[in-house]
Structure 1
Amino acid sequence: MLDIKQFNPGIKTVISIASIIFASILAFYLLVIYWPQSSPYESVEINIPKGVTLSEISNILKEEKILSNKRTFTMAVKSMGHEKNIPAGRYILHNAQYNKEIINQLVYGIPSLKKITVLEGWTVNDIANELYKTLKINKNNFLKLCHDIRMVQLFNLQGNSFEGYLFPDTYTFAEGVDSKLVITRMVNEFNNNFSTSMKYQAQELGMSILEIITLASIIEGEAIYDSERSIISAVYHNRLKKGMRLQADPTIQYIIDDGPRRLLNKDLKIESSYNTYLNSGLPPGPINNPGKESIIAALYPSENEYLYFVARGDGYHTFTDNEKDHNKAKRKFQEVRRKVKQNKKKIIFEGK
C-alpha cells in the first residue's frame, strides 16, 4: 500500500513556490512602474481635461511625446491604484523619465496656477470674459451661477446675484477650475474686507449691506481719483435724504447694450429699474463690483451740501450745491469738449 506522505510536497516546497510567485509579481510590479519612457523634456506643461479616462490621458501624454509606451504606463497606474486619482488641471512635469515619476507628479503634483486680476468696477460679465480668456472657464456656466439666487442665499448675501460681491483683487487658479470655487474665493475675499465695523457703520446710516454696495458701485463708476470718492458719496447721500433722483450716469451705462459710450438723451428714458433718471432711490442692486475705497466712501461720505457734480475734462469734477451753478459748470465742460473735438479734427487734417 502506498504511503500518502510521499506525495506531500512539504512546507518548505510550498514556501519556495510562494516565494517564487511573490518575487515574480514584485519583479513585474517594479518593472512596470520603473519602465523608462522617452520624454525629451526637462520640464513640460500638459493639460488634463475634466472627465477623461485613463486611456485618454495616455493618449494625451503620447501625443506630447512624454510616453513611448502607453501600455506600461496604463499598467503602472493601475498597479499603483491611481486609475481614478489623476485630477484634471494643467501640470508642469519635471524630469518625467519613468512611469512612477510621471504618475506621482500627476497624482500628487500641484496644478500649474495662473493669475487673474479683477479690476475695480468690473461687472460679472467682465469677470466672465477674463476667466474664459485666462482660465478657459465656460462663460455661460459662470454667469448662470452668478445669477443663481439659491447659491447667493447659501452665502447669506443680500440681493439676487453675486454682482457687487466678487471682490476686486489678484487671484491664482488652476486652468479649468470649477466656477463655484472661483465665486467662493471672491466672495470670501469680500467678506474678509467688509469688516464688522463697516457693518455697524451701515446700520448707523440706516442702510443695508446691499444698499451700501450698490451705492459703492455707483461711486466706482463715477470716480477716477480716490480723493473724490467721499465727495461723490456725499452728493448721493444728500440727494437721497432730499428725495431727489440720483441721476447717476453709470446706472445708464449698466443697462445699455453697447456701453460704455457717451450717453444720449434717449438713453436716459430707457425703462429699467436701474435707471436712476426715471426712478427715485438706489437701483435694486450693484451695477459692478466696487473696490474697497469706494465701499469706504459709501460708508463714510464727506460732510458737504453738494447736490450736483459734472466732469471737468481732466478726470476730476466740479461740485455745486445749486442747479444754477451746476448748469454753469456743465456749459464750461461742454466748451472743453468742443475744444478737444476741434483739436482732434485739426490733428487729423494736418496729418493728411
Structure 2
Amino acid sequence: MLQIKEFNPGLKTVGSIAGIVIASILAFYLLVIYWPQSNPYERVEINIPKGVTLSEIGDILKEKSIISNKRTFTMAVKSLGHEKNIPAGTYVLHNALNNNAIINQLVHGAPSLKKITVLEGWTIDNIANQLEAILKINKKKFLILCRDKRMVRLFNLQGNSFEGYLFPDTYTFAEGIDPYLVLTRMVNEFNNNVSKSMEVQAQDLGMSMLEVITLASIIEGEAIYDSERSIISSVYHNRLKKGMKLQADPTIQYIIDDGPRRLLNDDLKIKSNYNTYLYPGLPPGPINNPGKKSIIAALYPSVNEYLYFVARGDGYHTFSKNEKEHIKAKKKFQEVRRRVQRQKNKIEPEGK
C-alpha cells in the first residue's frame, strides 16, 4: 500500500514564512503612512469645517492639491487610529509632503487663530456680523444664543439677553469655534472688568448692575471724548432724580431698522419700551456693549446741575442747566449744521 508522508515543515520554515508576512504587512503599513503626496506648497492654509467625515476631509485636501491620492490618505489616517481625531478649524500646513506629515499637522497642530476686535458701543448684531465675517460663525445661531434667557440666567446675569455683557476688547479665536465658547470668553472678560467695588457703588446709587450697564450703554452711544463721559452721565442721573424723561437719542437709534442716521420726528414716536422720549426712566436693558470707561462714568457721574446737552458739531457737547439755555444751544448747533450743508453744496457742483 502506498504510504503518504505527512507534510511537516520545520519551525525554521514556519518562522521564515511568518517573518515574510509580518515584514510585508509592515512594509505596506509604512508605504501607506509615508506615501508621498503632490503638495506643491511649502505653506498652505486649509479649513476643516465642523462635522465633516474623513472622506470629506480627503476631498478638501485633494481639491486644494495637498494630496493626489485620497485612498492612501484615508487608509493612513485609519491605520494610525486618527479617523475621529482631526478637529475642525483652520490650519497652516508646512512642508506636508507625505501622508504622515499631513496627518500629524492636522491632528497635533493647533488651529491657526484669528483676531477679532469688538469696539465699544457695538451691539450684539454688530458682533455677530464680525464673527461671521472673520470666524465663519453662523450669525443667526450666535444671535439666538445671545437672546436665550435661560442662557443669561445660567451666567448669573440680569436682563433678557447678553446685550451689554459682551465686553469690548481684541480676542483671538480659531475659525469655526463653537459660538458658546466665544460668548463665554466675552462674558468672562466683562466679569473680570467689573470689580466688587463697582457693585458696591451701584448699591450706593440705588441701582442694579443691569441699570448701571444700561446707563453706561447710553453714555457710550453719546460720548466721543472721554472727558465728557462723566458729565453726560450726570445729566442722565439728574434727570432720573427729577423724574424727567431721558430723551436719549441712542435709544432711538437702537430701535430703528436703518440706523445710525439723523433722527426724524416720527422716530421719536415709535412705540417701544426703549423709546426714552415716550417713556420715563431707563430702558429695559442695554442698547449696546459699553466699554469700561462708560461703566465707570455711569457709576461716578460729575457733580453738577446740568439737565440738557446738545452736540456742538465738533464731537463735543454744550451742557445746559435749563430749557432756555438748551434752546439757545440747539439754535447755535443748527446754524453750524446749515453752514456745513451750504459748504457741502458749494463743493459738490465743483467736483462734477
**If the TM-score is normalised by the length of the shorter chain, which range does it land in?**
over 0.9
SS in 2 for 1:168: coil
User: Which residue in the other structure is 2:195 paired with?
Assistant: 195
Show CA shifts across 1:213-269 (max 9, x none).
100000000000000000000111111111111110100010111111111111111
In 2 relative to 1, CA 223–76 (structure 1 residues): closer, same or farther, beyond 3 Å?
Answer: same
User: Which residue in the other structure is 1:124 paired with?
Assistant: 124
Identity among equivalent positions (%) equals: 81
User: Which residue in the other structure is 2:252 paired with?
Assistant: 252
Matched, 1:264 2:264: yes
Q: Distance in 2 between matches of 1:9 and 1:149?
A: 77
Q: Distance in 1 between matches of 2:158 and 2:300?
A: 21
Shift of 1:50: 1.6
Q: Distance in 1 between matches of 2:115 and 2:44?
A: 19
Shift of 1:306: 0.8
TM-score (norm 2): 0.95
User: Which residue in the other structure is 2:279 paired with?
Assistant: 279
Shift of 1:31: 1.5
Q: Distance in 2 between matches of 1:90 and 1:261?
A: 38
Which segment is superposed worse, 134-143 or 18-27? 18-27
RMSD of aligned Cα (Å): 2.0
Show CA shifts across 1:44-77 (max 9, x none).
1111112211111111111111112111111110
User: Which residue in the other structure is 1:112 paired with?
Assistant: 112
Q: 5+ residue gaps in structure 2?
A: 1-5
Which segment is superposed worse, 298-307 or 340-349? 340-349
User: Which residue in the other structure is 2:142 paired with?
Assistant: 142
User: Which residue in the other structure is 1:67 paired with?
Assistant: 67
Q: Distance in 1 between matches of 2:102 and 2:225?
A: 51
Shift of 1:25: 2.4
Q: Distance in 2 between matches of 1:285 and 1:248?
A: 14
Q: How many residues align?
A: 351
SS in 1 for 2:232: helix
SS in 2 for 1:44: strand
Task: Give the letter aligned to residue 327 of structure 2.
Answer: N
Task: Give the letter aligned to residue 322 of structure 2.
Answer: N
Matched, 1:102 2:96: no
SS in 2 for 1:115: strand
Shift of 1:43: 0.7
TM-score (norm 1): 0.95
Shift of 1:23: 2.8
User: Which residue in the other structure is 1:43 paired with?
Assistant: 43
| Superposition pairs of residues 1-352 of structure 1, within 5 angstroms | 15-352=15-352
Q: Distance in 2 between matches of 1:152 and 1:9?
A: 76
Shift of 1:16: 4.5
SS in 2 for 1:121: coil
Task: Give the letter aligned to residue 270 of structure 2.
Answer: I
Shift of 1:154: 1.1
SS in 2 for 1:231: helix
User: Which residue in the other structure is 1:3 paired with?
Assistant: none
